Structure 1
Amino acid sequence: MKPIAVILSGCGVFDGSEIHESVLTLLSLSRAGVAYQCFAPDRDQRHVVNHLTGEVAEGEQRNILVESARIARGEIQPLSALVVDDFAAVILPGGFGAAKNLCDFAVAGAGCEVEEDVMAACRAFTAAGKPSGFLCIAPIMLPKLYGEGVKGTIGTDAGTAEAFTQMGGAHQDCLVTDIVVDEVHQVVSSPAYMLAGNVAEAAEGIDKLVQQVVAMCQR
């Protein structure tokens, strides 16, 4: 099968892609024998967070693509270069970068908007009949991407689930070790670190998501 595209949002749970989730996704794809290519938007991230203190590093700027290259070991392309015909599916790991750099949910809540390049890429996969996977907080974009009634999960957090519903999505509570599948839109989601207490718990749900996405590609 064709490779799977992985869209990253920086490097680090508080201002970019969640590193464990990203690496576990790549590991699971590799173990499944599926090639992958990482992509990220080529623009500055919303802000920079000192991951030791949890505080915003005032006056510091970092580029999403450059930071994401740390996770991808330099093997990454700008999101603008993603050609949907070249890939079987797309997966978006979580981390607050998904809610800050791929959309603005972190500041706008249910009134958020998805960045145009992210919107175009994700909708193109669905239009082509190809599956998508969303981890952790990334599924909060689903109602904006796919419209009324799309099914997805961010786990069991009541406030985030309520925002998902307000935006028109059909939220389903889900254990960290499980997935939610929307067959109509061919979208798979899993809570990952929205619920995970450790990396092993996150890995179980991520493995299930990757296995489901790969299976949908092979139908």
Structure 2
Amino acid sequence: MHVVDHLKGNPNEEKRNVLVESARLARGNIQDLAELKVSEFDAIIFPGGFGVAKNLCSWAVEGKNCTVNGLVKSTLEAFHSAKKPIGLCCISPVLAAKVFPGCEVTVGHNKNIDGRFPDAETASAIEELGCKHICKDVSEAHVDSTNRIVTTCAFMCKAPLHEIFDGVGVMVAEVLKLV
């Protein structure tokens, strides 16, 4: 959608390619999502961040009325149909809320407790989509056993980096238990 200068906190006019940026962050070895073969993987994990809210879906501008990128949606549906676990952190649980009505996810808390959850209204938007939001702290993950979806709030909580890291680690460990 647009590139944010995180030093200043403002969008800028720079344009970036999602695949090029993915390769930069991963140090190279990536492939287009269109080439993914579910049969070659045991699970899938989506990180969160602005990339999810602006490029993988339109949550950043349309909230609960967003659309999910077609390839992202079909990938999630394929893993779900194959009964393979799906891990989602930060804002990416909204992808599950849009694609799997009735699922259970967490993006932290539904109230801005001590200023730690400034995006707490996301929880109510998830519930308005017909899903169940489970309140969890940053160091925890929620497992929706029925749908094989594991979520954690990560940067949806203003917390020290080590606490966010721990929560993501719990999510990954819970995904691996489902493999």
CA shift, 1:198, in A, is 1.9
Q: Letter of the 1:135 partner, please give it.
A: C
* Corresponding residue to 1:150 among 88, 93, 103: 103
Gaps of 5+ in 2: 110-118
TM-score, structure 2 normalization: 0.92
CA shift, 1:196, in A, is 4.4
Match of 2:3 in 1: 48
Match of 2:175 in 1: 213
TM-score, structure 1 normalization: 0.75
* Corresponding residue to 1:172 among 103, 124, 134: 134
Rounded Cα–Cα distance in structure 1 between residues aligned with 2:49 and 2:28: 20
* Corresponding residue to 1:160 among 97, 122, 126: 122
Match of 2:46 in 1: 92
Match of 1:194 in 2: 156
CA shift, 1:97, in A, is 1.0
Identity %: 43
Match of 1:125 in 2: 79
CA shift, 1:82, in A, is 0.6
Rounded Cα–Cα distance in structure 2 between residues aligned with 1:162 and 1:212: 25
CA shift, 1:142, in A, is 1.3
Rounded Cα–Cα distance in structure 1 between residues aligned with 2:97 and 2:3: 27
- Deviation per CA, 1:109-134, whole angstroms, max 9, x where unpaired? 11011110000001100100100000
Matches within 5 A, 1:65-104: 65-104=19-58
- Deviation per CA, 1:37-64, whole angstroms, max 9, x where unpaired? xxxxxxxxx1111122111112x21101
Q: Letter of the 1:152 partner, please give it.
A: V
Rounded Cα–Cα distance in structure 2 between residues aligned with 1:201 and 1:158: 18
Following TM superposition, the consecutive aligned residue runs of length 4 or more in structure 1 with deviations greater than 3 angstroms are none
